[in-house]
Amino acid sequence: MALRHVVLLGPPGAGKGTQAKQIINELGLVHLSTGDILRDEVSRETELGKTAKGFMDRGDLVPDQLIIDMIRGRIEAADQGFLLDGFPRTTAQAEALAAFATIDVVLNIGLAREEVVRRLAGRRVCRDCGAIYNLTFNLAEGETTCAKCGGELYQRDDDKTEVIANRYDIYERSTAPLIEYYTRQGVVRTLDGAAGSENVFSEILELLSA
């Protein structure tokens, strides 16, 4: 299998995390989610976590250099290949990444703004196993227990309605230009995030095993 250095791109709520969990099970890549790593730093109250928290609570991006320093060693250690989820998010991050890793394919999962807002507001995450649910698809209103492990489901602070619009604006301004950046390198494959997660997943598997 040639495509071992994979980037997942797309607005928040497009299904990057859900797809990532399935892809790594199937292909044995290392899943590197900068959002997950940061949330762990925040919950452990590390120096990085304390610095990042304010940016994250507002839906703003954490400064590039902090993110690059945090992720670089993990990428370099991923001998069997990696799946980047939520990184890079700015052109500066993509340029830094290019200096220490090649990228084989960028899976660009598109989703319209109204659907992003609806999905993020309905997203719930398991505190214990990290499983992702959505009131729109697979979770009954009022359900607070994870069907996979029995853990408690919670709503991320940055999935509250007042933060969602800011996150989408930042995606459009800072992250969407990466589609053009990677298109110039000929590595972008675009998927329709509204197609349903099973369909998106089978398309991704086809692309990655081609």
Summarize as ranges the residues that interact with ligand AMP (CB under 6 A): 12, 34-35, 38, 55-56, 59-62, 67, 86-87, 89, 93, 158, 167
CA separation (Å) from 180 to 19, 83, 85, 94, 199?
22, 20, 18, 12, 25
Decide whether 2 or 163 has the Cβ nearer to ligand AMP: 163
Least Å distance, CB 134 to ligand AMP, is 14
Catalytic residue among 53, 89, 124, 189: 89
Decide whether 150 or 177 has the Cβ nearer to ligand AMP: 177
How many other C-beta atoms can be found within 10 angstroms of the C-beta atom of residue 56? Answer: 21
Least Å distance, CB 57 to ligand AMP, is 8
Least Å distance, CB 69 to ligand AMP, is 12
Supply 91's token pair: 């052109």
Least Å distance, CB 52 to ligand AMP, is 7
Decide whether 4 or 167 has the Cβ nearer to ligand AMP: 167
Least Å distance, CB 9 to ligand AMP, is 11
State how far the Cα of 7 lies from the Cα of 98, in Å rounded to an integer.
12
156 is catalytic: yes
Side chain identity at 188, as an amino acid letter?
V
Cα Dmax for the chain: 47
Decide whether 166 or 209 has the Cβ nearer to ligand AMP: 166
123 is catalytic: yes
Decide whether 2 or 91 has the Cβ nearer to ligand AMP: 91
Catalytic residue among 16, 21, 124, 189: 16
Q: In sequence order, which residues have a C-beta less than 8 Å from that of residue 18 and are 6 or more positions away?
A: 132, 197
Q: What single string gives the DSSP state of each residue in 166-181? A: HHHHHIIIIITHHHHH
Catalytic residue among 39, 53, 119, 167: 167
Residue with nearest beta carbon to ligand AMP = 35
89 is catalytic: yes
How many other C-beta atoms can be found within 10 angstroms of the C-beta atom of residue 42? Answer: 18
52 three-state secondary structure: helix
State how far the Cα of 50 lies from the Cα of 42, in Å rounded to an integer.
6
Residues annotated as catalytic are 16, 89, 123, 156, 167
